[in-house]
C-alpha cells in the first residue's frame, strides 16, 4: 500500500535537494515519476525545482485551482507512475493535500510532499496543517540555527536585515528574505520573550 509522506523543515534545510535526490533514484531504476511545485514560486531562472547546491529538475506547477487527483491520474493512466513528488507543499490547498492522500490510497502511488511547516510568524500554512494531520509518515529535515541548535522557525527580514513581524503569509524569497532560527532566537528576535 502506497503512503503519503510529509518532509518538513525550516528554510535552508535541503528539502528540494532531498526531493531531487529521491527523484533521481527512481529515474536511475527506470521508474517514472511526476514532479510538482507551486506556480507562485518563480525564483528559479531555470527549471522549476532548484536547490541551493545547483540541482534542478522540470516540474508541473500547481495553482489553487489545480486538481492534482485528475492531473496525476491522467498521467498515471498513460505512463504508470512509481512516485509523485510535491515541492513547496505548504502552498497546497487543504483540498489538494487530501488529493495527495487519495493518490496514495486509491491510485496506490506514493506521494512525497516537501515543504515548510510554519510561516514567518510561527503559524502553520494551510497545506502543511492538513499534511501534518493526515500524512502516513512525517519526516523532519534538520536545519541549523546560528547558535548550533536545530532551526525550526523562519524569521522574515527586511532589506536592512531587521525582523519582520507582520504582513502577508506568503512572500517568496530566499536567504535575502528569511533566516532559519531555533525557537529561542526566533522568539527573541520578534520580542516574544520580552
Q: Are 125 and 93 in contact (CB under 8 A)?
A: no
Catalytic option among 65, 88, 160, 162: 88
What is the grid cell recorded at 55? Answer: 540541482
Q: What end-to-end distance do the CA atoms of the chain give, in Å? A: 49
What is the grid cell recorded at 58? Answer: 522540470
88 belongs to the catalytic site: yes
What number of CA atoms fall less than 13 Å from residue 98's CA on the CB side? 4
| 191 C-beta neighbours (distance < 10 Å), count | 9
Q: For 104-133, give the DSSP string.
A: HHHS---EEEEEESB-TTSPBPHHHHHHHH
Helix/strand/coil for 119: coil
Nearest to 96, CA basis, from 124, 129, 143, 123: 129
What is the grid cell recorded at 109? Answer: 502511488
Residues classed as catalytic: 88
Amino acid at each position: 500500500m502506497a503512503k503519503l509522506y510529509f518532509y518538513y523543515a525550516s528554510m535552508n534545510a535541503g528539502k528540494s535537494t532531498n526531493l531531487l535526490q529521491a527523484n533521481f533514484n527512481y529515474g536511475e531504476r527506470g521508474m517514472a515519476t511526476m514532479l510538482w511545485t507551486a506556480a507562485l514560486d518563480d525564483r528559479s531562472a531555470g527549471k522549476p525545482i532548484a536547490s541551493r547546491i545547483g540541482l534542478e529538475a522540470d516540474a508541473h506547477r500547481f495553482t489553487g485551482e489545480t486538481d492534482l487527483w485528475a492531473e496525476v491520474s491522467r498521467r498515471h493512466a498513460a505512463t504508470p507512475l512509481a512516485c509523485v513528488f510535491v515541492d513547496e507543499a505548504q502552498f497546497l490547498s487543504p483540498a489538494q493535500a487530501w488529493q495527495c492522500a487519495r493518490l496514495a490510497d486509491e491510485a496506490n502511488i506514493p506521494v512525497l510532499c516537501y515543504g515548510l511547516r510554519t510561516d514567518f510568524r510561527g503559524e502553520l500554512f494551510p497545506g502543511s496543517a492538513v499534511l501534518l494531520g493526515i500524512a502516513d509518515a512525517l519526516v523532519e529535515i534538520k536545519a541549523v540555527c546560528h547558535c548550533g541548535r536545530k532551526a525550526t522557525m523562519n524569521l522574515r527580514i527586511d532589506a536592512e536585515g531587521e525582523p519582520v513581524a507582520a504582513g502577508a503569509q506568503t512572500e517568496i524569497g530566499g536567504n535575502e528574505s528569511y533566516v532559519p532560527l531555533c525557537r529561542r532566537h526566533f522568539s527573541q528576535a520578534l520580542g516574544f520573550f520580552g
